[in-house]
Amino acid sequence: MPRRTMIEAIRDAMDVSMERDEKVVVFGEDVGFFGGVFRCTQGLQAKYGKSRCFDAPINESGIVGSAIGMAAYGLKPCVEIQFADYMYPAYDQLTQEAARLRYRSNGDFTCPIVVRMPTGGGIFGGQTHSQSPEALFTHVSGLKTVVPSNPHDAKGLLIAAIEDPDPVIFLEPKRLYNGPFDGHHDRPVTPWSKHELGEVADGHYIVPLGKAAIRRAGSAVTVLAYGTMVYVAQAAAEETGIDAEIVDLRTLLPLDLDTIVASVKKTGRCVVVHEATLTSGFGAELVALVQENCFYHLEGPVARVAGWDTPYPHAQEWDYFPGPARVGRALTETLEA
């Protein structure tokens, strides 16, 4: 099976979707002729023409707002916000319009759009190239929120998102674009070509939204993670020797609660890990759900490892990014609790 980077897998997902359905259109800043600042749309304009893949003005609200209008017309726009950090001007359109169009019109109009945005830190991106704003989307009724962690899932989830009849926020951890990353920034990066999840089948397949994947089976503690933190958690388990079960959530909303609950009931312990800031982050929702659904199976408090409650700094990158040492400590403490 061919191996692809996450960038290639994402591009392939759009290619497959555009080939299969002429209603799929792709646009955003630098997305057309140039093929995107991360090369995720490279070649699509040449292959499908400027009507299907084109450059947009630098106006996030305009990109999402026009996509909503296109969706109301009957197209299936898959648009890009260059960095998740720059989605805020589009937040009104995403939360008040895209999320609610079906509901408020009782199905008279719908909004089958996908909004792709590179997310996450670990790249010396500083304050506005590193944010993880997923909690700002999972809090919004009517949106679906997806965070893939590998090329195979990225392609399957993106095709599923494009085919989904409702608006999907598709957060792409840019730290994972070229290879998995476990937080050991001092070691050379392994490319996806050397990783089994870099195997990406040609043609059409989907990874269903709302289904988690168990990346490492274990019995001692459940780790709930997504995006880059999946690899950090794996490294932490290996380095501490703790038999952790690592659940890659893949879709944050709708959430695969069944898989989470089954795992925590088995292990009796749980650590939640994300890059985003701690307070009111998505981890709080996960902890609450575990507490509500697994209380009598828990043998200790549910721990959270997250970004600190500060803006994402530049020089202090590795003091901020929750690396394997911090996650490992949380695993150890949870077992000792």
52 contributes a contact to another protein by CB under 8 A: yes
Per the annotation, the verdict on 129 as an active-site residue is yes
- Site track 84-113 with another protein (rule: CB under 8 A), x = hit: -----x--xx--xx--xxxxxxxxxxx---
Mark the segment that binds another protein (CB under 8 A) among 1-9, 53-61, 178-186, 192-200. 53-61
73 contributes a contact to another protein by CB under 8 A: yes
Pick from 86, 91, 126, 166 the residue near another protein by CB under 8 A: 166
The span from the CA of 64 to the CA of 70, in Å, is 10
- Burial track 72-86 (b if 16+ CB lie within 10 A, e otherwise): beebbbbbbbbbbbb
What residues have CB less than 8 Å from 189, skipping those under 6 apart? 178, 179, 181
- Site track 277-316 with another protein (rule: CB under 8 A), x = hit: ----------------------------------------
Mark the segment that binds another protein (CB under 8 A) among 4-12, 69-77, 119-127, 273-281. 69-77
- What are 304's strand-pairing partners? 272
34 contributes a contact to another protein by CB under 8 A: no
What residues have CB less than 8 Å from 304, skipping those under 6 apart? 271, 272, 273, 278, 281, 283, 284, 287, 330
Q: Phi first, then psi: what are they for 179, rounded to 5°? A: 180, 160
Least CB distance to another protein at residue 104 (A):
5
Structure tokens belonging to residue 316: 């202090």
The span from the CA of 196 to the CA of 193, in Å, is 8
Structure tokens belonging to residue 87: 């989605």
The span from the CA of 336 to the CA of 72, in Å, is 54
Is residue 158 helix, strand or coil?
helix
Rg (CA), the chain: 19
Annotated catalytic residue, options 129, 195, 274, 314 = 129
Least CB distance to another protein at residue 305 (A):
24
Pick from 30, 37, 39, 65 the residue near another protein by CB under 8 A: 65
262 contributes a contact to another protein by CB under 8 A: no
Least CB distance to another protein at residue 184 (A):
36
The count of other CB atoms within 10 Å of the CB of residue 150 is 25
Enzyme catalytic residues: 129
Binding-site ranges for another protein (CB under 8 A): 25, 51-52, 56-57, 59, 61-62, 65-70, 72-75, 77, 89, 92-93, 96-97, 100-110, 141-142, 144, 164-166, 210, 253-255, 257
